[in-house]
Amino acid sequence: MSFCINPHCPKPKSITESRYCQSCGSDLLLNGKYRVTNLLSAKGGFGNTYEVIDEHKIPKVLKVLTYDSSKAIDLFQQEANLLKQLNHPGIPKGENYFIYHPRESQTALHCLVMEKIAGIDLEEYQKQRGFKPIDYNLACDWLTQLANILYEVHKHKFYHRDIKPSNIILKPDGQLVLIDFGAARQVTKTVLAGGKNTGIYTPGYAPPEQSRGHSVPQSDFYALGKTFVFLLTGKEPSDPKIYNINTNEFNWRKYTPNIPSRLADFIDNLMAEKPIDRPKDTKTLLKIITDIKANPHQTKKTKKTKKTKNSSLEKPKIIPIPNPALISLLAAISPSYAGFWLRLKASLIDSFIVLIIAALLGGYICFRLQQWSTFQDLNLDFDIAKEIWVYYAAGLSAAGTTIFGFALFIAAIIYNIQAKINFTHEHIAILTALGLGIVIKWLYYVFLEYLFKATIGKMFFDLSVTDSEGRRISFARANRRYLLKFISTAPLYLGFLLAAWTKKKRALHDMISGTQIRKKSNQNLEK
């Protein structure tokens, strides 16, 4: 499967892996090494996001700028340079930046290749949990992680400017990753002096100064506070239940009765209207979070009198906190393999479908062959009239889809070779009908699993066939898998029965061919 990124291509999807787009002629091998396999998002403000694989078949994320303006290009190049500078597990790694020229297009596309982050964003995380508020321990853990990420960003004299739940990815190991640095801006003397900058922000999460065209490093703290209001209440910051647009009152704390008041005070401090009233910098931010985790119920008065030696210079380590809800969700993010009984039901449906297709198509083809010269001289010594030969052929074609029909076909050929005798017309007709069933079954499994990652039976149960890394299998591997399935299931289906006991629910032919059967719902969580 390939995908053309030419914005004007009439048919960007292609089922082949050719070098050039069959629709518009644009090069499908970007920068000589990246092949686009899927469109991830077309909702970006400046362009589209795709999944690509490099020359080693490693999945990456490709951002393509389609908005042709000098300011947009500057921001895009700034994001590429920033991601190359930053080195933190909570920030996606920038790998490559290049310019792509679609065929017969006057507009060049600026492309940024980044590390692919497996997981779901925090907005989707809340949706899957029914917008249930996160607990105190998880809030502290995530605050620490995000403060550390901002420490790294601000240390390089940049700030993000668009922090929100949908720009924070939760990985299966519990690590948070801050994405979409397209709005990031370098801290300069002009900015610190109050100079205007590009108005890129998300209403509800952006601070007042940013909506007026100004932003400073403390603007990130405001958006961080609004993000945790959403996580702790399960409600958007603009929800009328917590925000009164007429009085400008923000009453969110009544929905967090189990959160210590000190943490709630801290979040209110992050959302102070004036930047000067928010924490001074990320070091201060980290110190406050560390103090809250150590003494969640400490009063402000005690906090002022008690001093921790060098605590302002300490950079807390990220310590994952076990959480039942998080563990449950992360289990859903991890690959989910189809069990034996699910695979068996899908296999039975496929067997029935193939049998019907073979009977109808095989019978029709044999009927047409009878009309031509192929079977003109057929002498039916088994008392079957030519008029009902189509029904007889349909039954033989259906039989060809079974192991017994396949064994009969092979045995007849071997016997003929060993006996050194020529086939009669009757033998040719019978073997043709059986062979059609064999070929139809091969076409059904190999091409559907190669083109669509699933047969009809598997689609019915939302299953897909992938390689060991979760990627689409090649045509050669689809053939190898099909052949091995035949061989391994012949002895009383023993090879297939292994799916009931192996860790990843793999049958013998899966293990040998390097494939697996996954539930599609878990694959879609990758971003």
Q: Which residues are catalytic?
A: 162
Q: Where are the beta strands (DSSP E) in 361-490?
A: 463-467
Strand 185-186 vs strand 243-244: parallel, antiparallel, or unpaired?
A: unpaired
Is residue 5 classed exposed, middle or buried when 0-12, 13-18 and 19+ CB atoms within 10 A define those classes? buried
Is residue 197 classed exposed, middle or buried when 0-12, 13-18 and 19+ CB atoms within 10 A define those classes? middle
Q: What is d(CA 389, CA 61) in angstroms, rounded to the nearest whole number?
A: 57
Q: Two tokens at 170?
A: 């939760």
Q: Judge whether 312 and 289 are in contact, CB under 8 Å.
A: no
Q: What is d(CA 42, CA 50) in angstroms, rounded to the nearest whole number?
A: 9
Q: What CA–CA distances, in Å, run from 110 to 47, 82, 95, 100, 161? A: 10, 16, 14, 6, 22
DSSP string, 351-383: HHHHHHHHHHHHHHHHHHHHHSSTTTT---TTS
Helix axes 475-489, 425-451, angle to 10 degrees: 120
Q: Fill in the amino acid letter for 323.
A: N
Q: What CA–CA distances, in Å, run from 505 to 187, 349, 401, 496, 515? A: 53, 19, 25, 10, 11
